[in-house]
Amino acid sequence: MLDIKFIRENADLVKKAVVEKKLGVDIDELLKLDKILVEKTQKLESLRAKRNVINGQIKKPADSEERNKLIEENTKLKPEVKLLEDELVDIEKDFDNLMSQVPTVPSKDVPFGNSEKDNVEIERFGVMSLDKFDFEPKDYMTLAKDLDLIDFDRGAKVSGYRGYYIKNELVLIQMGLMMHALTKLIAKGFMPMIPPTIIKEFALYGSGYFSGREYNSDTDEIYRLASRDKDEDGTIQKEDKFLIGTAEPALLAYYSGEVLDIKALPMKLCGFSQCYRSEIGSYGRDTKGIYRVHEFMKVEQVAIMPANIELSNQIHEEFIQISKELHQDIGIPYRQIIICTGDLGAGKYKQYDMETWVPSLVDSERGGFAETGSASNFLDWQSRRLNVKYKDENGDKKYVYMLNNTAIPSPRFLISILENYQQKDGSVVVPDVLRKYTGCDVILKKS
């Protein structure tokens, strides 16, 4: 969410961002509502002030005729106040809905583009050619079945569409990936957390995981819980609860409604969590395997920092560098891309993506690459929604800047490891940094 004052003063710039990000929010309508809201709020405050004055006069000693006149005047004001209050409720609802859709103006170095096809590659690492194999490489699903590492059939039987079981050595590789990421981040000064995976609506809206002001089951790829909790006194809690799709919303909401000490900033947090996504927008795509699933594990990075664009850019670069180091540690080929305007989320100032090279995807529409993470700078778009502020050196309250980055997600790292580390005999070499977790160097067929 942007500051309405900024929108008023930079309407053309915000309109340009709306067009570049291919959004449908009407900034002129927003400004029209803003003007009405200001005018009616001022009128309401004036009427309330008038009523307060009259109420004060009624309490003072006065003759009955004068007192009756004051009471009559106050009585006439009451429905006028009520009418304005009701009007403001509706106007504020429409205003808030539009405000929730207003985008952050992207960084000047974000490339212009219409879709993901216009994202720009920045860097590559590792060998990305089928020529590195002196045999016909298998896809990860075949390898997983041959080595008894993933059970897709029983996963679907027990969990349903996109269900799966991770088994044997691949369990240790997956947990090793999570531990390697956490260990690395802790050494770099991140505070580790295991956040709740069941959270309230405000945390998801605040972090930008709703397409609008409220949850929309047709567009938001989030699981809403059907069952209701009981409060401490035993009453049924009516507030909606949701499963997180990443640790980011829970980490960002940790300080919601608080004013932080500038001396504590920047804060760097990392969270491990199980992640849940309904994938309603991907119906019919990637129906087999674990490329796109309903649940997986991930380690996420978050930064909470002062409102300083230069420092936020610096931390953004640090975040993506950590992602590159993690890919290099595991020894899987990757590329880094910068997301263009047409593919950039509403709240994002700038975004980098990491994509690992997967041999079986070379001839697919993805051209051999699978997204393994995103590093995003939101400036104060999320903190305004979550109401996270800090006091600067002058004692003034300001909204913090917030950034996030995927350290390691489990499924696509597993895919890349299996395919890039496969051998001619059908076995899979375990990456060096993960061997202390697996207790073996090579995954062989079970006898």
Residues in binding site for L-serine? 246, 277, 300, 404
- Which helix (DSSP H) or strand (DSSP E) does residue 130 occupy? none
Active-site annotation holds for 277: yes
- Which helix (DSSP H) or strand (DSSP E) does residue 54 occupy? helix 27-59
Residues at the binding site are: 246, 277-279, 293-296, 300, 371-374, 404
The percent of the chain in helix, strand and coil, each rounded to the nearest 5, is 45, 20, 35
CA distances from 98 to 23, 103, 379 (A): 11, 10, 19
Q: Check 207, 248, 412, 416 and give the catalytic one.
A: 412
d(CA 352, CA 375): 5
Q: Check 207, 273, 374, 410 and give the catalytic one.
A: 374
Q: Check 277, 335, 384, 385 and give the catalytic one.
A: 277
Q: Check 256, 292, 427, 435 and give the catalytic one.
A: 292
Active-site annotation holds for 447: no
Close Cβ partners of 92 (under 8 Å, ≥ 6 residues apart):
37
Cα–Cα nearest to 376, from 114, 22, 15, 104: 104
Active-site annotation holds for 374: yes
Contact between 174 and 297 (Cβ < 8 Å): yes
Cis, peptide link before residue 266, omega less than 30° from 0: yes
d(CA 109, CA 408): 26
CA distances from 248 to 176, 275, 303 (A): 21, 10, 10
Residues at the binding site for ATP are: 277-279, 293-296, 371-374
Cα–Cα nearest to 189, from 245, 264, 257: 264
Active-site annotation holds for 412: yes
Long-range contacts of 214-221 (CB under 8 A, 24+ apart): 215/240, 215/242, 218/280, 219/280, 219/281, 221/245, 221/277, 221/278, 221/279, 221/280, 221/281
Close Cβ partners of 138 (under 8 Å, ≥ 6 residues apart):
146, 360, 419, 422, 426
> For residue 41, how far is the Cα from the chain centroid?
34
Q: Check 87, 159, 371, 427 and give the catalytic one.
A: 371
Active-site annotation holds for 366: no
Catalytically active residues, by annotation: 277, 292, 371, 374, 412
